[in-house]
Amino acid sequence: MTVEGGVFWRHGFCAEGGVRLIGARLGGGLFLEAGRLSNTGGVALCLDGLIAPTVLCTDGFVADGEVQLQNAQISHLVSFDRSTLRSDHVALQCHGMQAQELHLTPQGIDGVLDLGFAQIGTLRDNVAARPARLVLDGLTYEHLSGPEGPGNATARLAWLNRDLDPYRPQPYEQLAGFYRRIGHDDDARRVLLAKQRARSSTLRPYARAWGYMLDWTVGYGYRPWLAGFWLLVLLSLGTAIFALDHPQAINSGHDPHFNPLIYTLDLLIPVSPFGMRDAFVPAGSTQWLAYALIVAGWILATAVVAGIARVLRRD
């Protein structure tokens, strides 16, 4: 169907059963303010392949049944402001939709919201009306807006956690890319850290255990300061133990005075800058402590270098 002007199904419009405008071209747009569509258990409104400048399902619009906008091309605005969408499964199907602006600020969505592979210029939504179940894989957008502002990474990560798929990297990469574009590099790294944590939950047990260690020690490289914290803990531990149980000097009379702090630091730093590692040899249980400090020093130093490199890449 082709309409040069607009289609107005506004206040008082009511349809029992599905309404289908598949592949329609509406030059002036579709206006359904305060309309009511009912097709419980089926499709209430099918706009698949629609080409129009505007679709307004606002101001008390109610749909009992699925609303479909698959592969629709909307040059300006799609709005569900102050609407109510209800369905046993998918309440709003926007898979592959293209729109300059999408307002997802309804009174409520009872059902799945599918935004898979949609291309949106500006996506506006609110926390209170976000559905419990989402499909976000493939969704791209240029800007996010809402009452909490674009910089609320906590709210946006909770949004990603509602995705029906247990782990998909693209939604995390898309959100991190958005934060980088607006200059919120810390939020971008926070999102990428959450991505690594979500990925870890899908790995085999041994790989998951390694992931947990990377998370606790250096935050997968996105929190390199954690490595400094663990280095400080190990430095304090080694200093206390070696102060009570001095290692033996290899060459008596020719070795420098023993200092437990410098000795522990020399074990932790891979290049041994103070030379005390080769001048004193621990015995008994402290020998294993020395080996552990050397290994931990290599691991943490490598993690610090990788973390600094990641920060310098603005990743």
| pLDDT for residue 177 | 94
What CA–CA distance (Å, rounded) separates 112 from 68?
A: 12
What CA–CA distance (Å, rounded) separates 310 from 291?
A: 29
Rounded to two decimals, the pTM is 0.76
What CA–CA distance (Å, rounded) separates 212 from 205?
A: 10
Which residue in 272, 274, 273, 282 sits closest to 238, CA to CA?
A: 282
Q: Which two tokens stand for residue 2?
A: 């082709």
What CA–CA distance (Å, rounded) separates 142 from 160?
A: 17
| pLDDT for residue 310 | 58
Report strand pairing: 280-281 vs 248-249.
Answer: antiparallel
pLDDT profile of the chain (315 residues), mean per 10: 95 94 97 97 97 97 97 97 95 97 94 97 87 94 82 86 89 94 89 87 78 70 73 88 84 72 88 80 85 85 65 55
| pLDDT for residue 152 | 80
Is 219-312 CATH 1.10.287?
A: yes
| pLDDT for residue 308 | 61
End-to-end Cα distance, the chain? 48
| pLDDT for residue 273 | 80
| pLDDT for residue 153 | 87
| pLDDT for residue 251 | 76
* Torsion sign, CA atoms 276, 282, 285, 287: positive
